[in-house]
């Protein structure tokens, strides 16, 4: 009878591999079945247990810790050989010299620490070598050398083989698919203040200033000089690419909600359709985007239908089911009106409806002055008493901007907003003119604990063509695409703006789409690639930043700020690509692995390949699964957090909606002073 070994015992057995033992250095005995015996446990002459090489291989195959150890030993040899085949000899000698220096430093540290701790040097050295998984200084030097070789080939793999953009784009798509510019105006509110938030007079004045400058057609970057967010103040309001969990939910999911639930000419007629096929089509469109953006995560096909049903019933879906909504620009601008005698606190400026003087403030500037008790001597509520949220300024704020739901700003007064930049979006089923930035991207807003965020999209990794571009940018991108695709016919006329050229390129891919060739997806990919080519900055300090800080806005972004954000981004990408060695190992050992008819790593192939023969085919499968599962699971914890955070955000929106819907008129009645 054989007893299952513990993981610890099994790893002890696998140390044979780590020690480099092979059939010529280990004297194995065989049992009657011809199996090599590793050890035998006996009670006298009675055999209690035999542990054979087949048992060890079985453990290696079935136990993830053992497979990890097996991978570690194989990969060390693979990377060392790959380095010798691909690196310059001088570089290899430099790495060898560094390994020797590391060992000398190790010995000196051991000597110093042994003396300071009053212990024998040889004993201390032995302990420290064991902590590194080796027995001798020679083995430590070999380990340091191999590690140095691996680090160099990994760096080479990214830099010299041109794979940086692959990891960069994968990082952006997963962690921060959208980039925005924003203007923050502080407000005194909280997650539970859905109807009684307040703004100070200073913040109300700033809000008016922001809206007036948008109204006058100033650039977003210019208006962003007013922002309360110091981190983006000097960057034209542009937020750096960052792992999105660092941002408050309203800021983070404003872009997600738009991408999932916005309507356009292609799907607006599906809304409110009585046709079941239309309803299903609209839902499936939204579900696919939510799934792609990890708002919904599906592990297998069995779970798919359950996830669809959960998404359809989710609070996030119920809030945005009818598409995007908007507030009126003119309603915000009422803050500029004068206080009237019917408003809370008006008794400070009026007597029986007659002004006390000429210094009646605007609604934005009216201070909260409470000089009376809440109750009269007879216990009745004093009609002159009012809470701060009952000021007209705060009533306007609560009616318009106090919402955690992402919304647009409708340009409802043509004369008032005649100089403002605008674009057309669908509010429900109605095409509606809304406030936009100078490039024609709609400005949207959402309230968070930090205040009101006015935002516009700068970059959309999920759907690049959805972001409006300046004509000179369109021309540059079109020319890059044309260089790589000679099948596209240039237009015979040039309007001088570059728009014709861009439209001709786009039309080529739209024609492919009409033929069923998935042309629009191809156009998005070509556009993505063109962006990265266009903004591959030649400045060596910014070489790795490429397009990642939106080159077309660099006119007002300082180099020091760009460099700071570049360093942060590269740190994030390094963390994201922590499984980089597994990508390279897979590319070296399993270069033609195919899933669903496609090489899943065809963008990051290695320059050298090796064949590795395994004792058993199942061992090869175990190592391959371990490597590729490690790659695939890199983002699992993050994507799970996205789904969870989206659910929490949806619950907040549902609570807000419930509070506001529960009141017949949640705007407080004006109080006559």
Q: For residue range 413-445, list pLDDT tens digits in order.
A: 998 999 999 999 999 999 999 999 988 999 999
Tell me the mean pLDDT in the region 572-596: 71
Q: What is the arithmetic mean of pLDDT over 171-183? A: 83
For the segment 478-535, what is each residue's pLDDT rounded down to a tens digit? 888 888 888 888 877 666 666 788 888 888 988 888 888 878 778 877 876 776 666 5
Q: Cα 378 from chain centroid?
A: 60
Q: For residues 14 and 57, is the Cβ–Cβ distance under 8 A?
A: no
- Here the tokens at position 573 are 């990408």
In a domain, 24, yes or no: yes
Please give the backbone phi and psi of residue 19, each rounded to the nearest 5 degrees, phi first.
Answer: -80, -5
Question: Helices 121-131 and 89-117: crossing angle, nearest 10°?
Answer: 130
In a domain, 397, yes or no: no
CA distance 167 to 576: 8
Alpha helices by DSSP H, 301-360: 301-312, 315-320, 329-333
Asked whether the predicted pLDDT for residue 328 surpasses 80, the reply is yes
User: Residue 37's beta-bridge partner residues?
Assistant: 29, 52
* 542 within some domain: yes
Mean of pLDDT values over 293-320: 90
d(CA 417, CA 443): 14
Task: Work out whether strand 407-410 and strand 326-328 pair parallel, antiparallel, or are unpaired.
Answer: parallel
Rg (CA), the chain: 33
State the pLDDT at residue 303. Answer: 84
Lowest-confidence pick of 65-74, 273-282, 464-473: 464-473
Question: Residue 594's pLDDT is what?
Answer: 47
Last residue of a domain, one of 569, 603, 638: 569
Return the higher-pLDDT residue of 668 and 480: 480
Indicate whether 29 pLDDT > 60.
yes
So what's the pLDDT on residue 5?
36
**Is 331 inside a domain boundary?**
no
Residue 542 is predicted with a pLDDT of 37
User: Does residue 285 lie in a domain region?
Assistant: no
454 vs 164: CA distance, rounded Å: 33
Q: How far is it, in rounded angstroms, from Cα 35 to Cα 57?
A: 12
Q: What is the pLDDT of residue 286?
A: 96
Residue 663: the pLDDT is 59
Q: Give the pLDDT mean for 159-165.
A: 63
What's the total number of domains in the chain? Answer: 2
**Mean pLDDT to the nearest integer, 25-45:** 68
Q: Which stretches within 423-498 are classed as H helix? A: 471-484
Tell me which residue range forms the domain holding 549: 464-569
Q: Is residue 595 over pLDDT 60? A: no
Q: Average per-residue pLDDT in the chain?
A: 80
109 pLDDT higher than 80: yes
148 half-sphere exposure, CB direction, 13 A CA radius: 21
Token pair in block for residue 421: 């930049």
Which whole number is the average pLDDT over 39-46? 76
| C-beta of residue 622 within 8 angstroms of C-beta of residue 64 | no
End-of-domain residue from the set 569, 591, 621: 569
C-alpha atoms less than 13 angstroms from C-alpha of 344 in its C-beta half-sphere: 23
Q: Minimal CA–CA distance to 443: which of 551, 295, 329?
A: 329
pLDDT over threshold 90, residue 113:
yes
**Residue 6 — very low, low, confident or very high, per pLDDT cuts 50/70/90?**
very low
Per-residue pLDDT at 474: 76
User: What's the confidence (pLDDT) of residue 34?
Assistant: 67
Q: What is the pLDDT of residue 159?
A: 67
Identify which has the larger pLDDT, 513 or 271: 271
What is the C-alpha separation between 142 and 79, in angstroms, rounded?
A: 13
Higher pLDDT, 21 or 419: 419
Q: Does some domain include residue 145?
A: no
Q: Residue 518 domain-assigned? A: yes
Top-confidence residue, 432 or 612: 432
Q: Do 437 and 228 meet the contact criterion of CB atoms below 8 Å apart? A: no
499 phi-psi bin (left φ>0, alpha ψ -120 to 50, beta other): alpha
Quote the pLDDT of residue 549: 40
> Residue 291: is its pLDDT beyond 90?
yes
pLDDT tens-digit profile of 523-575? Answer: 877 876 776 666 544 443 333 333 444 433 343 445 555 566 666 666 666 66
pLDDT confidence bin for 470, thresholds 50/70/90: low
Confidence grade of residue 9 (pLDDT, cut at 50, 70, 90)? very low
Which positions ≥6 away from 232 have C-beta within 8 Å? Answer: 181, 182, 224, 238, 239
Report pLDDT for 535. Answer: 53
Q: pLDDT: is 463 or 330 the higher one?
A: 330
Q: Is residue 557 part of a domain?
A: yes
Q: What's the pLDDT tens digit per position in 348-399? A: 899 988 999 888 999 999 999 888 888 988 889 888 899 999 999 999 999 9
Contact (CB, 8 A) for 432 and 326: yes
- C-alpha distances in Å from residue 148, one per residue of 80, 145, 167, 305, 333: 9, 5, 22, 48, 64
Neighbours of 48 (CB within 10 A): 12
pLDDT at res. 497: 62
Question: Domain ends where: 569, 589, 620?
Answer: 569
Q: What is the DSSP letter of 237?
A: T
């Amino acid at each position: 009878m054989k007893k299952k070994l513990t993981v610890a015992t099994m790893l002890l057995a696998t140390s044979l591999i780590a020690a480099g033992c092979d059939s010529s250095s280990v004297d194995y005995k065989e049992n009657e079945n011809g199996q090599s015996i590793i050890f035998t446990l006996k009670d006298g002459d009675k055999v209690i247990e035999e542990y054979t090489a087949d048992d060890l291989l079985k453990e290696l195959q079935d136990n993830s810790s053992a497979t990890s150890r097996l991978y570690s030993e194989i990969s060390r040899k693979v990377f060392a050989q790959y380095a010798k085949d691909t690196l310059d000899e001088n570089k290899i000698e430099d790495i060898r010299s560094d390994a020797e220096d590391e060992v000398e430093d190790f010995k000196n540290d051991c000597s110093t620490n042994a003396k300071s701790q009053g212990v024998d040097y040889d004993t201390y050295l032995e302990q420290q070598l064991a902590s590194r998984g080796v027995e001798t200084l020679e083995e430590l030097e070999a380990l340091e050398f191999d590690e140095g070789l691996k680090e160099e080939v990994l760096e080479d793999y990214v830099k010299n083989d041109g794979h940086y953009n692959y990891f960069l784009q994968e990082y952006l798509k997963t962690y921060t698919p959208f980039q925005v510019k924003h203007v923050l105006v502080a407000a005194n509110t909280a997650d539970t203040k859905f109807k009684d938030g307040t703004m100070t007079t200073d913040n109300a004045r700033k809000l008016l200033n922001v809206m007036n400058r948008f109204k006058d057609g100033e650039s977003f970057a210019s208006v962003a000089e007013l922002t309360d967010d110091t981190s983006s103040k000097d960057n034209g309001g542009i937020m750096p690419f960052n792992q999105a969990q660092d941002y408050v939910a309203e800021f983070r999911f404003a872009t997600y909600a738009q991408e999932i639930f916005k309507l356009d000419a292609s799907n607006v007629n599906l809304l409110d359709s009585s046709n079941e096929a239309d309803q299903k089509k609209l839902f499936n469109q939204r579900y696919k985007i939510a799934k792609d953006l990890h708002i919904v995560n599906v592990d297998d096909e069995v779970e798919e239908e359950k996830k669809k049903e959960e998404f359809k019933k989710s609070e996030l879906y119920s809030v945005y089911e009818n598409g995007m909504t908007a507030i009126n620009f003119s309603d915000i601008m009422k803050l500029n009106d004068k206080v009237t005698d019917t408003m809370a606190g008006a008794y400070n400026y009026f007597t029986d409806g007659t002004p006390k003087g000429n210094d009646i403030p605007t609604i934005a500037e009216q201070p909260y002055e409470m000089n009376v008790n809440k109750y009269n001597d007879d216990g009745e509520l004093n009609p002159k008493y009012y809470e701060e949220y009952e000021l007209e300024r705060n009533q306007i704020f609560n009616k318009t901007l106090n919402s955690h739901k992402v919304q647009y700003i409708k340009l409802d007064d043509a004369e008032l907003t005649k100089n403002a930049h605008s674009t057309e979006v669908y509010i429900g089923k109605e095409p509606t003119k809304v406030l936009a930035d100078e490039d024609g991207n709609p400005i949207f807003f959402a309230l968070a604990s930090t205040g009101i965020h006015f935002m516009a999209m700068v970059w959309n990794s999920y759907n690049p063509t959805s972001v409006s571009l300046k004509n000179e940018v369109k021309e540059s991108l079109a020319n890059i695409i044309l260089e790589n695709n000679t099948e596209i016919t240039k237009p015979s006329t040039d309007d001088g703006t570059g728009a014709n050229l861009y439209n001709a390129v786009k039309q080529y891919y739209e024609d492919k789409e009409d033929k069923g060739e998935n042309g629009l997806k191809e156009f998005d990919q070509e556009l993505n690639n063109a962006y990265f080519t266009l903004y591959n900055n030649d400045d060596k300090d910014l070489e790795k930043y490429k397009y990642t800080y939106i080159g077309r806005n660099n006119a007002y972004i300082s180099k020091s700020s760009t460099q700071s954000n570049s360093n942060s981004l590269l740190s994030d990408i390094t963390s994201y690509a922590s499984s980089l060695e597994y990508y390279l190992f897979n590319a070296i050992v399993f270069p033609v692995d195919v899933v669903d008819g496609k090489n899943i790593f065809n963008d990051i192939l290695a320059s050298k390949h090796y064949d590795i023969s395994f004792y058993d085919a199942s061992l090869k499968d175990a190592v391959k699964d371990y490597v590729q599962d490690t790659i695939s699971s890199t983002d699992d914890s993050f994507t799970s957090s996205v789904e969870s955070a989206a659910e929490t955000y949806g619950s907040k929106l549902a609570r807000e909606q419930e509070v506001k819907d529960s009141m017949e008129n949640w705007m407080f009645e004006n109080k006559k002073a």
